[in-house]
Chains A and B, each alone.
Chain A
C-alpha cells in the first residue's frame, strides 16, 4: 500500500481525531442511555446525530467568562495545553501501513511524555481558577496522574521487550503472529486501568467528581474553554483506545477487511468499553485510588516486567 502525501496524513488524522472526539458527545450519551433502558438524544437529525452540532453551537455562543479573581493568562492557556498534548500524541499513532504522521523510533516514549505534559493543563486550570474546589480537583489530578503514569509506563515495558522497539509501527508488525494481549495480558489490564485514570474517565474521574467538587478543575470554565476540556477528554479516550488497539490488539492487523477498517473497529470497540465502564462502575474513594495505584498496580507492573524479561531471556 502506497502511503499518502504527508500533508494529507496530517490533515486526515487531525480531522478524523477531532470528528471522532466530537461525535463521542453523541455516542456516549446514546450508549449510556442504551445501558440505562432509555433512548438518549434522538430528536435532532437522524438518530439525534445532529445533537453534536446543536451542542457545538450552544457551547460556542455561551458567554466566555473569566472570573475576575483568576490568574488570567494561565487560565486561558490551561485548556489549550490539554488539546495540544493529546493531539501531539496522535502524531505517532500508526493508523495503517504508511498512514502515520511521524514514524518516530521512540513513539511510545513520546506518547508517555505527552500524556505526562497533559497533567499541567489540569493542575494549572485548578490553580489559576483560584477556587477551592478547582484547586482540590487540580491536586487530585496531579496525584492521580503521577501515580498512574508510573505504572502506565512500566506496564508497557513488557510490550517493548517482546517487540524489541519503542517504535509503534514495529510493535504492530511484531504482532503478526499473535496479539500481545495474549502474552501480555497482565500488561494489558494494567495499561487499561492506567489509561482510564490518565484520561480521568469514570470510575477514575476524581479530579472533577461532580458530587464532591462541583466540577473539579473546570468549575470556573465556561463556553469554549470548557469545551476544550470536554473535547480534550474525548480525544484522550480516543487516543487511549487507539493505543490499546495498537499495543495489544495488533493495530491494523486482521483478516479479510482492509487494515484501516480493522483499526477503527478495534478503536471503536474500546471506546464503547470506556463508556460501559462509565455506565456501570462507581467512583472509588481518593485514598483507595492512591493505595491501589502504589500498593497493587505498581508491584504487579514490576512483576510483569520481571517475568516477561525472564521468559524472553530463557527462550532467546
Chain B
C-alpha cells in the first residue's frame, strides 16, 4: 500500500522534470555527424566528379535502389552517365558508402526529404551531386590512383614510384 503512494508521488515529481520531446519542426533533433541520412555524391577538391562508375554501390545495395551507367570521357576518366537513387526504396543502410572505393557516395545527416509524389523520390545525378568533397576534404582519387588518364601518365600519381620499365634489363 505504501509503495502505491510512493509510486504516485514519484510520478507526480516527473511534472518538474525537463521534457524529452523535441518540438520537431521548430526545434531540430541532433543528428550525429556520421548519421546515415540522405545520400549524396561528392566531388574532388578540384571540382571533378569522384564517382568512377564501378557499380560496387549498386551491387552492395540490398534493396537495389541504385542504378547507374558508367562511361568514359575524352581523358579516359570514368564517370557515371546517369546515376539514379530511388529513395522510396532506400533503407539508409550505408552499404553503398562502405563499398565505394573513391569516397564518392556518402550518407549525410539529413532526413528531411519527404515528398507528396512518390516519383519525386527518385533522385537523378544532378540532385545527388554536391559541390564539395563531403566528409573527406583532402582526397582526390584520380591524383592518387595508378591508372593512366589524360594529363597524368603511369607512375605520376602522388606518392607513386615511377613505373617500372618492363623492357629494360637493368635492375
Which residues of A are at the interface with B, using a C-beta cutoff of 8 A? 34-39, 276-277, 279-281
**Can you pick out 30 interface pairs between chain A and chain B where the beta carbons lie within 8 Å of each other?**
A34-B15, A35-B11, A35-B12, A35-B14, A35-B15, A36-B14, A37-B14, A37-B17, A37-B18, A37-B19, A37-B20, A37-B21, A38-B19, A38-B20, A38-B21, A39-B19, A39-B21, A39-B23, A276-B8, A276-B11, A276-B12, A277-B8, A279-B11, A280-B7, A280-B8, A280-B10, A280-B11, A280-B12, A281-B4, A281-B7
- Residues of A within 8 Å of B17, CB to CB, are 37
B8 → chain A closest CB, angstroms: 5
Q: Which B1-48 residues have a C-beta within 8 angstroms of A? A: 4, 7-8, 10-12, 14-15, 17-21, 23
How extensive is the interface on chain B, given as a class? Answer: 10 to 19
Closest to B22 in A: A39
- Alpha-carbon distance between A281 and B9 when the two chains are bound, in angstroms: 11
Tell me the interface secondary structure of chain B in the complex: helix
Q: Considering the complex, give the chain A residue whose CB is closest to the CB of B13.
A: A35
**Contact residues in A for B21 (Cβ distance below 8 Å):** 37-39
Instruction: Please name all residues of chain B whose beta carbon is closer than 8 Å to the beta carbon of A37 when the two chains form the complex.
Output: 14, 17-21
Query: In the complex, how many angstroms separate the beta carbon of B5 from the nearest chain A beta carbon?
Result: 10
User: Nearest chain B CB to A295's CB is how many angstroms away?
Assistant: 15
B146 to chain A, nearest CB (A): 57
Complex: chain A residue closest to B9, CB-CB: A280
Separation of A38 and B22 alpha carbons in the complex (Å): 9
Q: What's the least CB distance linking A196 to chain B, in Å? A: 12
Smallest beta-carbon distance B11→chain A, Å: 4
> How far is B5's CA from A280's CA once the two chains are assembled, in angstroms?
9
Interface of B with A (CB < 8 Å)? Answer: 4, 7-8, 10-12, 14-15, 17-21, 23
Bound: A35/B12 CA distance, A: 6
Which residue of B is nearest A277, CB measured? B8
Nearest Cβ distance between residue A39 and chain B, in whole angstroms? 5
> Which residues of the other chain, B, contact A281 by a CB distance below 8 angstroms?
4, 7-8
Closest to A39 in B: B21
Within the complex, the shortest CB–CB distance from A231 to chain B, in Å, comes to 26
A-B pairs, top 3 by smallest CB distance, nearest first, are A280-B11, A39-B21, A280-B8
Residues of chain B within 8 A (CB-CB) of A280 are 7-8, 10-12
**Which of chain B's residues has its CB closest to A34's CB?**
B15
Given contacts A37-B17, A37-B19, 14 further A-B contacts (CB under 8 A): A35-B14, A37-B14, A37-B18, A37-B20, A37-B21, A38-B20, A39-B21, A276-B8, A276-B11, A277-B8, A279-B11, A280-B7, A280-B12, A281-B4
CA distance A35 to B9 in the complex (A): 11
B14, closest chain A residue (CB): A35
CB distance from A165 to the nearest CB of B (A): 33
Expressed in whole angstroms, the minimum distance between the Cβ of A288 and any Cβ of chain B is: 13
With beta carbons under 8 angstroms apart, the residue of A34, A39, A277 that contacts B14 is A34
B19 contact set on A, CB distance < 8 A: 37-39
User: What distance in Å separates the Cβ of B46 from its nearest Cβ neighbour in chain A?
Assistant: 48
Shortest Cβ gap from B156 to chain A (Å): 61
A36 CB contacts on chain B under 8 angstroms: 14
Smallest Cβ-Cβ distance to B11: which chain A residue: A280
Q: How many angstroms between the C-alpha atoms of A281 and B15 in the bound complex?
A: 16
Which B residues are CB-close (under 8 A) to A35? 11-12, 14-15
- How distant is the Cα of A313 from the Cα of B17 in the complex, in angstroms? 51
Residues on B with C-beta less than 8 A from A34 are 14-15
Q: Which of B8, B10, B18 has the most CB of A within 10 A?
A: B8
What chain A residues lie within 8 Å of B23 (beta carbons)? 39
Write the chain A residue with the least CB distance to B4. Answer: A281
From B21, which residue of chain A is reached at the shortest CB distance? A39
In the bound complex, residues from chain A placing their C-beta under 8 Å from that of B14 are: 34-37
How far apart are B78's CB and chain A's nearest CB, in angstroms? Answer: 51
Q: Which residue of B lies closest to A278 (CB)?
A: B11
Separation in Å of the A46 CB from the closest CB of chain B?
15
Docked complex Cα distance between A277 and B4 (Å):
10
Nearest chain A CB to B35's CB is how many angstroms away? 24
Q: Which A residue's beta carbon lies closest to that of B5?
A: A280
| Across-interface contacts of A38 in B (CB, < 8 A) | 19-21
A36 CA to B21 CA in the complex, in Å? 10
